[in-house]
Amino acid sequence: MKKIFLLLALAVFGISVNAQTEIKPLPPEAIDAPPPPPPPPPPPPPPPPIYRNKQGYNISVHNVNGTGNVIVSKKGFKKSIPLSEWKANKAKYEKLYGKIPPPPIMEQDEFTPPKIVKDN
């Protein structure tokens, strides 16, 4: 009877050790995913506003290949005048087409100076 209990105890012990050391299948390894694409480029700046003056002309200043050009347009009429020429003959062009509008006001972040704390 002792031999049966001993044999039964060894069998139960062997099964429990086998069950604990049984190799379970591992989950599949993560496949190396390609890096995410770079963010899209920022949108282009909006075109400068076109103002209609008292004479009915739309006047705007554009930068074309590094040189400033004054674009004058009115109902199908469109003319490009170099800014240097406009400045040289300012009275003539202002009489014909009107004044160049002021540049747009750029939004700026307000500066808040840091608070200085004195040690006592």
Domain parsing of the chain, residue ranges: 51-97
Confidence at residue 88, expressed as pLDDT on a 0 to 100 scale? 94
0.85 exceeded by pTM: no
Confidence at residue 40, expressed as pLDDT on a 0 to 100 scale? 92
Burial of 114 (0-12, 13-18, 19+ CB in 10 A): exposed
Q: In what order do the strands lie in the sheet with 67-74?
A: 51-52, 58-64, 67-74, 77-82
Confidence at residue 87, expressed as pLDDT on a 0 to 100 scale? 92
